[in-house]
Structures are given as structure tokens and as C-alpha cells.
Structure 1
Amino acid sequence: MTSLKAAVLSAVLAAFWWEATGTPTAASASKPLVLIVSFDGFRWDYLTKVDTPNFDELIASGVQAKYIKDVFITKTFPNHFTLVTGLYEESHGVTGNAMYDPAFNQSFGMNSTDPKWWNGGEPVWIANQKQGGRSSVVLWPSGNVNFSGILPDYFFPAYDASIPFQHRVDVIIDNFVNGRVNFGALYFQEPDHSGHLFGPDSQEILPILSMCDRTAGYLISRLKESGLFERINIIITSDHGMTTISPERVLVVEEFVDPNTFPYRTTSNNPIMSIWPENDEDTEAIYNGFHGKNQNMTAYLKENIPAKFHYRDNRRISPILLVAKEGWQIIDNRTGSWPTHLGTHGYNNDLMSMHPFFIAHGPAFKKGFVAEPFSSTNVYALMCHILGINPSPNNGSWENVRSLLAPTPVSTRDRPSTNDVSPTGGDGHSGGGGISKFTIFGICLAAGLVILVITLLAAMCLKQRTYCEKPMSYQPIADTSLEKDTQEPFLPNSRL
């Protein structure tokens, strides 16, 4: 009897061992994989400034847009939120890196994770988790915000620019390799940081661009080592571009309108300045103090902000908006620190200098294809389409970027739903969400072992009627642990 029990145990363990080592876990086994990566401030033409062999590899076997058009105002937080919600700034409500909300009578700082500032949109990782997926978010703006009681399954609790780029890659790729997630969002603060310090056309920016390419190379190597490179759909893009500025080209708000004469407050997103009159009846007089007074600045009353900016219908947009001409800055007064940066962004999103790059690679995308420019509002819908999930209301459409996608062959026997995605490559896996032949083999093997176990148990019960015992009660434990450095916490979100 002992040898019979051992045989049964061995058979069961063999089945579970094959499942653990031969197939991904439930989080990713039957789901398309999507990873979006942002190199902050990576202007569309930076790819021509240095050799970029790793970006070039993705382009050669994937797709590239000539550029994408970011949303106005061309700042970091609003545009990162647009990428993952598909909404214009007036729709999602993140109207700048700095904001004032008259209903709250409070100002927003870039470290704020209070949901009230973010609840105008639902990021793609939340939609993914609501529909059965699991997500990992590494330092993406809003990635540590609680949306209606939901946080990413894996996330960093606070932004930390000192976390090495390779470690960020390792954290998120390990989650894919271990089958914990089917969606990831990964953020790097370069080349934006160096673009501000030195300017986009400086010699100092060149080694930073090369470093970004090497980071992409490390990401590619990790995916190839794990066997995921041809399965995962990677989108590498940015939030905005960068243009050259000078400390000599600065406009000072208080030199146009004295706040002691007409009281107002300001919210600075230099080179954009929001003016909030303390008294509504002063709005016209304050506006007239700016309007037409300098050719390097345009003043708008809120109701006259051009419709093309999609930056008007939100209470966080001020009654008066000042927009500097490219290359110029706007500051409050001369009492604070004088701007010394040599590069910035935030200007009119029609400017070529404000446009970011876009590269994508994976089974859902064409190979060697160059796309015409498109709006960044379409990236969210594109990701939802590939993931096979229903998007929240948004201002984009995957139909607008259909040209990026590989054809999807469909048989009458195995026709995907409208949310299914393009097939994976020829590595033994079937189309987006399909079952690979390895999985089928595993199911057959497991089924055979189960039949064997049942047969053996039946034989034992026949030989010894007292064999069957009341099963032991137990409580399963979900393992959401993540290997990590203790000094760089990355939190699994335990939602029971």
C-alpha cells in the first residue's frame, strides 16, 4: 500500500511540476502581454542624433511612427495620464504638473497621490485588473494612486529617481517572466532631466540618448533570455519633446499687471501661466493687461482658448491663460530664483519640437512599418485592443492606429471576439489569447495523470474501505511576494 501511495504522490507532483515549469501561470498563460515604456522628454528626432542600435532593432522588426502628437499643455504629468487613459487634459482633469482647483481651494503638487486629483480618468492597468488581468507599474506618474479602491498589483509606493534603470527593468520583466502580470508600465526620467539642464541640441545630451538606447538593449536582452521577446507587445514612447531656451528670454507676469492693483493668483507651468483673478469683475482688466502687450506671449480668456487645444472645459483651467512663444519663458516675478535651464517644454502642441517618438514591437504589430503621425490619445485604446479588454470612455480609438497592427487570420472554427488581438509570432503560440500546442500537451498530460490518480485511488479504496478520510480543511495563500532590494521597495498590492 505504501508503494501505491508513493506512486500516486509522484504522479500528482509530476503533473504540478510540468504546469509550473512548462507553462506560464494563470495571470499570463492565456492573455496577450503588453508593456508600455516611457523615456520622458524623448523628442521624435533624437533617434537621428546618435547611433541607436537597440531602438533600431525594434524598428526593423516592428513599427515606428514618424512622431506622435502629444496633448496641450505639453507637460509630463498630463501627458503621461493621457497615454494611459486616452483622454485630453480637459477630460481627465490633470491640467498641469502644477494645478489649482477652485472647488477644493487647494493646489496640486507632483508628489500628491490623493485620488481626488486623478479621478477624471481610469488608467489602463485598472481596466486590465477589473477584467481579470494583473498589472505591474514601475514609477509611472499616477502608478501609486488608488482608483476607486484599486491599486496596481505591483507598484512602487513613491517616486524615487535614484532607482537604477536596470533595476527597474529587472523588476518589471521578472513579473512577466514569473507569470504574475500581463500588463506593465515602466518609466525613465531621461532624457528629460538632462534636456532641461543642457538643452536638446547640446553635446551633453548625446551620451544620455546613448544611455537610453542601452537601457532599451538591456530590456531586449532580458526578454530574449526569458523567451518572451517574440510574445510580448512592447510600446516605447514619450510624453513630449523639448526645445532650447535661454535665461535672456523671460517674461515676468508682475511687470504686465500689478497684483496690488488687481489681485490675482498664479499657477506656473512655465512656459504656461494660469491667472486666477480674486475678483471676477477684474478678469477683463487683468486680461487687457496681458493681451497684445508682447509678441512673445499670447493671452487667452478661458472661453477663447482655441478648441484644437482641448483645454477649456475644466474648472482647473484658469479664467486667463498665458502661453509663451517657443523659446520663451513666463515667471511670476523677479524675487524668486531666475530660471537657468537651457531646455523646456509645455508649448503649443503643434510645434514639431514638442512631439515625442513612438516605437512598437511584438506579435500584434507589423514588421518594418513606418506610420504617419497620430495623436497620443489613441495609445490607450490601442493597448486595450491588444489586451482584449473593454476600454473606458476616451478621446481616442484603436481604429485610428489600425495601420500599425499585423493582419489577424481568423478561421471559422476559432474566431476571436471583437476584443481579441492579433496573433503571436511563429514560436509555437497561437493568436492573441489562443492556446499554444505546449499548453494543449500539458492539459492532455495532466488529464492523463488525473485519470491515473483516480484509478489508483479507486483501487486502494476497494482494497481498504477505511482508506478514504475526511479531507483536511485549509486556507489557500496567494503568493504575491516579489523579490526586491529592501532599500527599494516595490509593493505587491494584497487585495482579498
Structure 2
Amino acid sequence: MMAGLRYFKTIHVFHVLLYCVLFGSVAMHAVPKDNKLLLFLLDGFRWDYFDRQEINLPGFRRMMREGARAEYLLPDFPSLSYPNYYSIMTGLHCEDHGMVGNYMFDTKHNESFLIGVNRDQYHAYWWDDGEPLWVTAEKQGKRSYFYSWPGCEVTIRGVDPTYCKKYPMLSYPKLKDMQAAIAEGLELFSNGSADVVGIYVELPDKYGHKYGPSSAKLNQKLEEIDAEMDKLLDELESRDLRDDVNIMIFSDHGMTEVSETRVINITDYVDIEDIRVVLDAGANVYIWPNPGKLDKVYSDLVAMDNPYLTVLKKADIPDRWYYRNHYRTSPILLVAANGWYITTPLLPRFFSYFGSGPMQGTHGFDNNETDMQGIFLATGPDISQNVVVKGFANIHIYQMMCDVLGLTPNQNDGQWDAVAGVLTHKRISSATSVVVNVTMVIVMAVFSLIRLSI
């Protein structure tokens, strides 16, 4: 009798364990599969370029019908390239990731970050306060390929992407570079080599600066980019990849008109002997006064009494900019009103393009200015279709990129409520789901054994 009871209990335990394993397996398979991700960073693509009546953008329109679009994408302050490249890819505000300008001075290392002109910008300490998507991906066994993407050539937190095509330092990426990167990326997805591919496209920014955001020459470039997007969708279908690859397109900032008639020249109001470092020109200027000269330099600048210039000590930088609380933020910050341009003793002239005259457009202003807002557009198996969501800040993109790749995101400033409706689902990452389900199996089995032993 006792032997028969033990046999019954053994069979019952086996059935319980089998049930738990099957239940755990079903739960794990309920989690959506890890799909591929193709990223486009369209530098300087303003939020309203999509809606221009004078140009035809069938590729982007097709993506909108088949995907989700934000009304606008809010950049971090300052609305410049490098700060927002990194806010997008880390999900952090500038004061958290430390990329506080296109031009920076680091008082701890006594070095400057000057984009495109010095090697110091590739030192890891400029970048290590944040963890960009490719580092998160590589840490979790995914393979990342980035093309002309600023920062991908830097070893960040000891990690490199699987592949980085460096930005061409003596030029800038042209349309042919975009075309080549798309072709190579699609082949990498087809043969299973890549999980995430990122392509940087500078053309909207270059043409917006050079000819202005309302120019016919910029419109022509937008149509050329659009044509490549239309071809991309066709190629994904021909390769049978539409159900496996998500596309996310975003920009770092917008663009506004400037002219030589709207210039703020601070040269006559400051004594250069009072200043240790002054960097940049245009929408923002950063000043590190010599020891004991902070109040004097500040007072001299305030005395200009220019209604188009805001002069701020670091402590007075608005909370809403999420910019004040990093040691690289300069002791004095100058911010021009939208469309105005600041010149300095070191950069006393309005910027001009050789052979084409004065610059016609720029950015960097208060990120609440409408012209500074960018774009977010996505399509693919994990993206809602024919949806327009409210505008959101670019720090919220990182978590979505991680989600569709099945990654556990690094700590970030993003919030899911801000991007509700973009994805068809929000999930726990694959790795976390496996742990949860295996733990559930073990707990249920142990609980059943305890019951049977009573």
C-alpha cells in the first residue's frame, strides 16, 4: 500500500514538473521575439519638413501609414548636435551624460573637446558618463554596426561596436555614403550578422546651415533622402525582412534662419585678460573666467543690456534644461534669442561658407523654440501602424530601442508614459523573462514537493 502511494506521488511530482516546464516554456514564448533594428539619424531635420506642400515625400508618407510618428521630437538643451546625439543614444539628459556642447572644456583634465579638429575628443572620459545603445547591445551579446555615427569610433566603458565606419574628417557623409550604408546594412540583416545598424545622415543639417531651412536646395536634398527611404522599404520586402526589421528615424534638432543683421558682438564688453577659456559662437557661448574674475566678467556682460542675449551664471541655469549639474557646464553661459548670433573675441565674424556666402541657418537655441524641434518616425513589426503620438523628448527613445532588440536598458531618464502608443507592446527584456520564468518553474516545483511530503 505504502509503495503504491510513493509511486503515485512520484508520478504526480513528474506531472507537476512537466506542467511547470511546459508552462514556463509557453510564458517564455509569449514574449515577442527579438527583432532587428535599423536606425537613421537625420541631422538637423526639423519637425515640419514632412509637411511642406512644395515637396513630395512618398517614402516618408509610406512609413507614416505603416508606422508611428511623433508630432515633434524635443531636443535636450543646448539644441546642438553632440549633446543630442548622446541624449538619444543613452536616454540621459546632458547633465547626466556629460556631453554638454559641441565644444567643451574639461577642468579636471585641462583639455578641450573641439569637434573635428582635435584628437582629445576621442578620450573615453568625455563619453563614459553615459552608455550608448551599441555598448548596451554589445554587453548583452548583440552585434552592432554603425556608419559615420559620431562617437562609434570611441571605446566607451571599455566596449566598441562590432563595426564602426568612422566619420570622414576631411569631408562629410554624402548621399552615396547613405546608399552604401543601407545596402551593406540590409545584407548584414539578411545573413544574420547584425542585430542593430545605425546610419548617420548629415545632409539636412549641412544644407540647412548653408542655404537656410526654407531653401529650394534643402528641399531637393529632402526629396533625395526620401527616395532612398522608399527604396529601402521595397528592398526589405524583396528580402523578406519586413517582419524582422524595425526602422527608427530621428533627428538631433531643428533649424532656424539667421543673418548678418542679427549679430550680438560681445568683444567690446569683456576684457580677454579676465577669461581663461571661451568656446563656441552662434546660439551659445561658454566662458570660464580666470580665478577671481567671475563676477566681473558676468557684470560686464550684463551691462550690455541686450534684449536678445541671456547671460547666466551656472547656478542660475533653468532646471528645465537639465544642464546645470555637470562639472563641464561652464561658469558663465550665453544664450542668444532665436535667430540671433553671438560673436566673441576669438570668433569675431559671422560664419560664412567659402564660395556661398554667409550662413543662412543654425540651431542651439532654447529647446522650447518650435524651430529647434526634430522628428521621430518608426515602422516595423513592433511599431503601431498609422499612429501619430504627441511630441516627446528625445531621452525616451533609448528604452524603445532596447525593447525591440530584447535588451535590458541601462539606467536612463526615459519614461514609458511619454511614448505610449508607439510600440505594439512593452515587454520585460528577453533575458529578464527567462529568469522570471525559470524561477517560477522552480518555485512551483518546490511548493508541490513540500505539499506531497506532508
Q: Which band: TM-score by shorter chain? A: 0.7 to 0.9
Once the two structures are TM-superposed, the CA of residue 35 in structure 1 deviates from its matched residue by 1.6
Is the 2:255–2:363 contact (alpha carbons within 8 Å) kept by the matching residues of 1?
Answer: yes
Aligned residue number for residue 135 of structure 2: 126
Aligned residue number for residue 254 of structure 1: 267
Alignment of 1:321-470 (within 5 A): 321-333=333-345, 336-339=348-351, 340-407=358-425, 418-420=428-430
> How large is the RMSD of aligned CA atoms in angstroms?
1.9
Q: Is the partner of 1:72 in helix, strand or coil?
A: coil
Q: Does 1:81 align with 2:105?
A: no
Aligned residue number for residue 147 of structure 1: 156
Measure the CA separation in 1 of the matches of 2:281 and 2:67. 36
Once the two structures are TM-superposed, the CA of residue 201 in structure 1 deviates from its matched residue by 1.4
Q: Does 1:98 align with 2:103?
A: yes
Q: Cα–Cα, structure 1 residues 398 and 385, in superposed 2: closer, same or farther, change >3 Å?
A: farther
Is the 1:382–1:397 contact (alpha carbons within 8 Å) kept by the matching residues of 2?
Answer: no
Once the two structures are TM-superposed, the CA of residue 371 in structure 1 deviates from its matched residue by 0.2
Is the 1:96–1:269 contact (alpha carbons within 8 Å) kept by the matching residues of 2?
Answer: no
Is the 1:252–1:334 contact (alpha carbons within 8 Å) kept by the matching residues of 2?
Answer: no
State the AA in 2 paired with 1:172. Answer: G
Aligned residue number for residue 326 of structure 2: 314
Once the two structures are TM-superposed, the CA of residue 149 in structure 1 deviates from its matched residue by 2.5
Identity of aligned residues (%): 32
Moved more, 37-46 or 266-275: 266-275
Once the two structures are TM-superposed, the CA of residue 221 in structure 1 deviates from its matched residue by 2.7
Is the 1:115–1:146 contact (alpha carbons within 8 Å) kept by the matching residues of 2?
Answer: yes
Measure the CA separation in 1 of the matches of 2:281 and 2:77. 12
Candidates 17, 34, 37, aligned match of 1:34: 37
Q: Cα–Cα, structure 1 residues 335 and 183, in superposed 2: closer, same or farther, change >3 Å?
A: closer
Report the structure, 1 or 2, having the larger helix content: 2
Once the two structures are TM-superposed, the CA of residue 162 in structure 1 deviates from its matched residue by 4.5
State the AA in 1 paired with 2:279. Answer: T
Measure the CA separation in 1 of the matches of 2:202 and 2:97. 23
State the AA in 2 paired with 1:289. Answer: D
Once the two structures are TM-superposed, the CA of residue 282 in structure 1 deviates from its matched residue by 1.5
State the AA in 2 paired with 1:275. Answer: I
Is the 2:73–2:375 contact (alpha carbons within 8 Å) kept by the matching residues of 1?
Answer: yes
Q: Cα–Cα, structure 1 residues 128 and 334, in superposed 2: closer, same or farther, change >3 Å?
A: closer
Once the two structures are TM-superposed, the CA of residue 305 in structure 1 deviates from its matched residue by 0.2
Is the 1:191–1:212 contact (alpha carbons within 8 Å) kept by the matching residues of 2?
Answer: no
**Unaligned 5+ runs, structure 1:** 1-28, 409-416, 422-496
Measure the CA separation in 2 of the matches of 1:144 and 1:174. 22
Q: Is the partner of 2:288 in helix, strand or coil?
A: strand
Aligned residue number for residue 114 of structure 2: 109
Once the two structures are TM-superposed, the CA of residue 30 in structure 1 deviates from its matched residue by 6.0
**Unaligned 5+ runs, structure 2:** 1-31, 352-357, 432-454
Candidates 201, 205, 214, aligned match of 1:188: 201
Is the 1:39–1:212 contact (alpha carbons within 8 Å) kept by the matching residues of 2?
Answer: no
CA deviation map 1:331-369 (0-9, x unaligned): 213875432211000000001100001111011111100
State the AA in 2 paired with 1:398. Answer: W
Is the 1:74–1:354 contact (alpha carbons within 8 Å) kept by the matching residues of 2?
Answer: yes
Moved more, 290-299 or 232-241: 290-299
Is the 2:149–2:165 contact (alpha carbons within 8 Å) kept by the matching residues of 1?
Answer: no
Q: Does 1:276 align with 2:288?
A: yes
Q: Is the partner of 2:246 in helix, strand or coil?
A: strand
Candidates 237, 245, 248, aligned match of 2:250: 237
Measure the CA separation in 1 of the matches of 2:275 and 2:148. 39
Once the two structures are TM-superposed, the CA of residue 294 in structure 1 deviates from its matched residue by 0.3
Moved more, 44-53 or 149-158: 149-158
Aligned residue number for residue 47 of structure 2: 44
Is the 1:385–1:420 contact (alpha carbons within 8 Å) kept by the matching residues of 2?
Answer: no
Once the two structures are TM-superposed, the CA of residue 143 in structure 1 deviates from its matched residue by 1.2
Is the 1:40–1:190 contact (alpha carbons within 8 Å) kept by the matching residues of 2?
Answer: yes
Moved more, 318-327 or 109-118: 109-118
Measure the CA separation in 2 of the matches of 1:418 and 1:305. 37
State the AA in 1 paired with 2:193. Answer: R
Measure the CA separation in 2 of the matches of 1:162 and 1:347. 25
Q: Cα–Cα, structure 1 residues 190 and 276, in superposed 2: closer, same or farther, change >3 Å?
A: same
Measure the CA separation in 2 of the matches of 1:268 and 1:335. 8
Q: Cα–Cα, structure 1 residues 335 and 181, in superposed 2: closer, same or farther, change >3 Å?
A: closer
CA deviation map 1:115-138 (0-9, x unaligned): 121111111111111112111111
State the AA in 1 paired with 2:236. Answer: L
Once the two structures are TM-superposed, the CA of residue 327 in structure 1 deviates from its matched residue by 0.7
TM-score normalised per structure 1:
0.74
Aligned residue number for residue 278 of structure 2: 266
Aligned residue number for residue 354 of structure 2: none
Aligned residue number for residue 289 of structure 1: 300
Once the two structures are TM-superposed, the CA of residue 402 in structure 1 deviates from its matched residue by 2.7
Measure the CA separation in 1 of the matches of 2:191 and 2:224. 27
Q: Cα–Cα, structure 1 residues 63 and 335, in superposed 2: closer, same or farther, change >3 Å?
A: closer
Q: Is the partner of 2:420 in helix, strand or coil?
A: helix
State the AA in 2 paired with 1:419. Answer: S
Measure the CA separation in 2 of the matches of 1:70 and 1:263. 30
Measure the CA separation in 2 of the matches of 1:70 and 1:256. 31
Measure the CA separation in 1 of the matches of 2:347 and 2:375. 38
